[in-house]
A = this chain, B = another copy of it.
Amino acid sequence: MKITAVIMAGGRGERFWPKSRNSRPKQFLSLTSDGETMIQKTVNRLRPLVEPEDIFIVTNAAYKDLVKDQLPDVPECNILSEPCARNTAPCIAFAAAVINKKYDDAVMLVLPSDHLIGYEDIYINTLRKAVAVAEQGKNLVTVGITPTYPETGYGYINFGAETGDAYAVERFVEKPDRPTAKKYLASGKYLWNSGMFVWKVSSIMYNLEKLMPDIYEGAVRIGEAFGRPDFSEVLVKEFTAFRSESVDFGIMEKAEDIFTIPGSFGWDDVGSWLAVERINETDDDKNYIEGDVISVGSERTTICGGKRLIAAIGVEDMIIVDTDDAVLVCSKNSTQDVKKVIAQLREQGRSELV
């Protein structure tokens, strides 16, 4: 069966401010020294499994030109522009309806646009297994990451009986506190929820019809209009009427035949500035430094230079990011407070900096 991929690229990525902005969120930035952006990496690592013409990018209409520029191999008609943000369930329903119109049925990989994968061969191999499971019946398959430490920032997947390469999913759980996360790891029955899904278009449409009929019906109307002159009009009308809902809550937590394929392929969700030192090589003092920087006695510090010199002297456990109009100097313990700066900027009406 034809394998397609839907890459969700509508996020606003505030956690990488000041490098990420509303006008250019994380998935369109390079956070690695090779200069490739996150979404370019996402598409390129799929090449062994999916042709560029079978890759669909669902994104905010405002980012369509960024997608075109960064992914010239993806056909323009595969860029699905959401008129507004409605979380992942409407996003996936939109893409499923379009693929359904184009290919009747197909396997559909649903992937975030802003994660990193260290071991791409193992990743592709894991996806192949997920495809095989998805092709059977009405299975909804999610890729679970084998945890390596008790992370409190991810949701977890509790799995049960083994059936071949896959495990039946018992339940999805929200981000735990640390003692709970430790219990999950000790049990050997919990995986990290990576937000990657694999299913046939027919399987997700079946479940949408059953569990989210309002969104199903709107999506069907969008799919029917795809390619017609009135497509934009129908899309705006139907999509803006959708309620905002995640696919996890709307479908995965309620559907039957949910399976998980455990994977371990150097996955990183690149969730904050702290990730940069994890995903890049650091120097002898455990600093990650890019750009025009003079460091004297600095340790365990991430410095992303811009056009000007940054002199870092005796700096420890900090994040320093320079851009043309803003500099961030942030303790590693406070990276979650970047959003407070953005909130202040919004309050001050300084949208040019957000």
Contact = CB atoms under 8 A, between A and B. Distances in A.
A313 B337 contact: yes
Interface in A276-315: 294, 296-297, 308-315
A311 B328 contact: yes
A316 to B, nearest CB: 7
By size class, the interface of chain A is: 35 or more
Contact of A296 (B309, B320, B334): B334
A340 interface: yes
A100 to B, nearest CB: 46
A294 B329 contact: no
Given A294-B341, A296-B341, A329-B320, A334 B310 contact: no
A326 B340 CA distance: 26
A324 B308 contact: yes
Contacts of A296: 334, 337, 340-341, 344
A327 B337 CA distance: 22
Tallying the copies of this chain within the complex gives 2
A353 interface: yes
B308 A327 contact: yes
Contacts of A315: 318, 329-331
Interface string A342-354: 0011000010010
A354 to B, nearest CB: 11
Given A296-B334, A327-B327, A329-B329, A353 B314 contact: no
A309 B340 contact: no
A334 B314 contact: yes
Contact of A333 (B18, B312, B314, B329): B314
A338 interface: yes
Contacts of A334: 296-297, 313-314
A296 B343 CA distance: 11
A44 to B, nearest CB: 33
A230 interface: no
Contacts of A320: 327, 329
15 contacts: A17-B311, A294-B341, A297-B334, A308-B324, A308-B327, A311-B326, A312-B330, A313-B330, A313-B331, A314-B330, A314-B337, A315-B329, A315-B331, A316-B331, A320-B329
Closest 9 CB pairs of A and B: A314-B334, A314-B331, A313-B330, A309-B326, A311-B341, A313-B334, A313-B337, A296-B337, A296-B340
Interface of A: 17-18, 294, 296-297, 308-316, 318, 320, 322, 324-331, 333-335, 337-338, 340-341, 344-345, 350, 353
